[in-house]
Amino acid sequence: MSRKELLSKIGLRQDGRRAEELRRIRCKLGVFTQPDGSAYLEQGLTKVLAAVYGPHQVRGGRSKAQHDAAIINCQFSMAVFSTGERKKRPRGDRKSTEISIHLHQALLAAVKVELYPWSQIDVYVEVLHADGGVFPACVNAATLALIDAGIPLKEYVCACTASLANNNVAMVDISNQEETLGGPVLTVVALPMSAKIVHMEMSQRFHLDHLPKVLNLALQGCKDIKAILDDVVRQHVKDIGSSTGWSQTNRKQ
């Protein structure tokens, strides 16, 4: 028997959260001046930077360009110092390629690509520190960066993980410690406002009976994250708007 339980008898997790509580999320828009949009996001100790360039002309081989939509180019990478063990991570290894593809899928569902035919949007995501739920943090950061870049979205696209503690209780937003202790991790990317699931991934099997509660909790997590991101975006707009007097108009609405 593992001596550490994911969820103690009194309902607290290893780090003191309850099963349905997210880790602390802190984020900031417009952290760089060079890209068209950028964002920094902390979800617990997982720290991610996202930068968006575009829309711009398709670079490198016009053949990729589409006549009716913009193409989205995603690049995911991890800093050498992002995990406890320092490791050189070559760009384009299998794991980052996979995450890049998933990220592409997730963003494609939200960006109104049809507005920009023959163009390209570049999204770069860099993980500064990995402490579980890396991919969801990337999605959330990328969403903010896209908003910062002023690219029209259908709605927020948010991601969150959920797991099953003691093979019974669903819990949300899994940290690295909880990942290593075991238990299946379900990652969900969703459009929280329309309650659509964009992408879903499971790390290991668990019984079908548990799926509804775990899935619902992950979706609830996406909604909660959306609310947090939304607050930050509104605050950000208000802050930059205050210099030009936008915030006044904003408040009237």
Partner 1 sequence: MLTTKIFIRKNRAGNFLKNIREHYLRDDIHCGISNCHDCPPNSNISPATHENKCSLYNFNHYLVLDTNVILHQMDLLEEDAMCNVIILNTVLEEVKHRNLPIYKRLNNIMENTDRNFYLFPNNFHIECYIAQDKLEVINDYNDRCIRRACTWYMQHVPDAKFVLLTDDVANRQLAAEENIYCCSVENYVAHLENCGSLQDKLAHHDGHSISKSDDIFPPHLTTLEIHKGIKENKLYQGVYHASRDNFLEGYVVVEESDGTPMQIIVQGRVGQNRAVQGDVVAVELFNVKEWTAPSDLVFEDEGLVESGVDEVLRKEAELNVGKGKKEAEDRKPTGRVVGVIRRKWRQYCGILQQDGDASGLYQLFVPAEKRVPKIRIQTRQGVFLRTQKIVVTIDLWPRHSRYPEGHFVRALGAIGDQATENEVVLLEHEVPHNQFSEQVLKCLPKLPWIITDADVEARVDLRDIDICSVDPPGCTDIDDALHCRPLTKDTFEVGVHIADVSHFIRPGTALDVEAANRATTVYLVNKRIDMVPELLSSNLCSLRGGEERFAFSCIWEIDKNAKILNVRCHKSIIRSRKAMTYEEAQITIDDKTKNDSIAISLRNLNMLAKILKRKRLENGALVLASPEVKIHMDSETMEPLDVEVKKLFETNSMVEEFMLLANISVAEIILEAFPDCAMLRRHPEPPVSNFDPLIKVGKNLGFDIKVDTGKHLAESLDEAVNANNPYINTMLRILATRCMMQAVYFPSGIYEKSNFFHYGLAVPLYTHFTSPIRRYADIIVHRLLAVTVGSDATYPDLLDKQKSKLLCNNLNYRNRMAQYAGRASVAFNTHLFFRNKVQDEEGYILCIRKNAVQILIPRYGLECTLYLAEKGQSSAYFQYDVEEQTQKCGDITLHAFDPVTVRLSLDSSNVQHEKFVLKLVHPYIEGFSLPPLNVPSKRKGDSKNKNKSHEKRKKQLH
Binding residues for partner 1 (CB under 8 A): 1, 3, 8-10, 12, 14-17, 23-24, 44-45, 84-85, 131, 167, 175, 177, 205-207, 209-210
Q: What's the half-sphere exposure (Cβ side, CA atoms, 13 Å) at 148? A: 31
Indicate the residue among 38 and 43 with the shorter CB distance to partner 1: 43
Judge residue 252's burial from the number of C-beta atoms within 10 Å of its C-beta, 0-12 exposed, 13-18 middle, 19 or more buried. Answer: exposed
Torsional sign, CA 232, 120, 49, 161: positive
91 neighbors 99 (Cβ within 8 angstroms): no
Query: Cβ of 83: how many Cβ atoms within 10 Å?
Result: 16
Contacts by residues 40-43 (CB-CB < 8 Å, ≥ 24 positions apart): 40/141, 41/137, 41/140, 41/141, 41/144, 43/133, 43/136, 43/137, 43/140, 43/173
Indicate the residue among 86 and 251 with the shorter CB distance to partner 1: 86
Q: Least distance from C-beta 24 to partner 1, angstroms?
A: 6
Q: Least distance from C-beta 89 to partner 1, angstroms?
A: 16
Indicate the residue among 10 and 33 with the shorter CB distance to partner 1: 10
Indicate the residue among 97 and 167 with the shorter CB distance to partner 1: 167
Indicate the residue among 15 and 239 with the shorter CB distance to partner 1: 15
Q: Least distance from C-beta 136 to partner 1, angstroms?
A: 16
Q: Least distance from C-beta 142 to partner 1, angstroms?
A: 23
Joined tokens for residue 109: 């569902």
Indicate the residue among 64 and 87 with the shorter CB distance to partner 1: 87
Torsional sign, CA 178, 225, 139, 154: positive
CA distance 185 to 251: 41
Q: Least distance from C-beta 81 to partner 1, angstroms?
A: 10
Q: Least distance from C-beta 200 to partner 1, angstroms?
A: 19
Indicate the residue among 3 and 94 with the shorter CB distance to partner 1: 3
Closest of 24, 45, 53, 82 to residue 232, by C-alpha: 24
Q: Least distance from C-beta 41 to partner 1, angstroms?
A: 16
